[in-house]
Amino acid sequence: MKIVGVAACTVGIAHTYIAQEKLENAAKKGGHDIHVETQGTIGIENPLTDEEIDQADVVILAVDVKISGRERFEGKRVIQVPTEIAVKSPNKLIEKAVEIAKNK
């Protein structure tokens, strides 16, 4: 399965990158392709391409703040959670994403 996501916390430093790492590790452990963009104090890093978004089965937004470019995900299955969920329960979040994507 192909997953894309955005991680962004209120301060834009620690939790943003921790959430990205946890989601990437959990997805890879489950055998899924994932690309997570971060939006923080230094701007957008690891930006998602239009092609990655088009091919994605599901979008995970682990965000505590308003993100830029949310309209890119119109028409996609989107799960939005606080970064804390991605940090504390990344495996369950990936399982939920898989379940949602399968129930198209």
Tens-place pLDDT, residues 62-77:
999 999 999 999 999 9
Of 4, 7, 8, 9, which one is the catalytic site residue? 9
Per the CB < 8 A criterion, the answer to whether 39 and 6 are in contact is: yes
Query: How many Å apart are CA 67 and CA 78, to the nearest integer?
Result: 14
Q: Please say if 9 is a catalytic residue.
A: yes
Q: Which domains does the chain have, with CATH numbers?
A: 2-102 (3.40.50.2300)
DSSP state letter for 70: G
Q: Using the structure block, give the residue that is written with the tokens 């955005």.
A: 6
Q: Model pTM?
A: 0.96
Identify the burial level of 29 via C-beta atoms within 10 angstroms of its C-beta, where 0-12 means exposed, 13-18 middle and 19 or more buried: exposed
pLDDT at residue number 103: 85
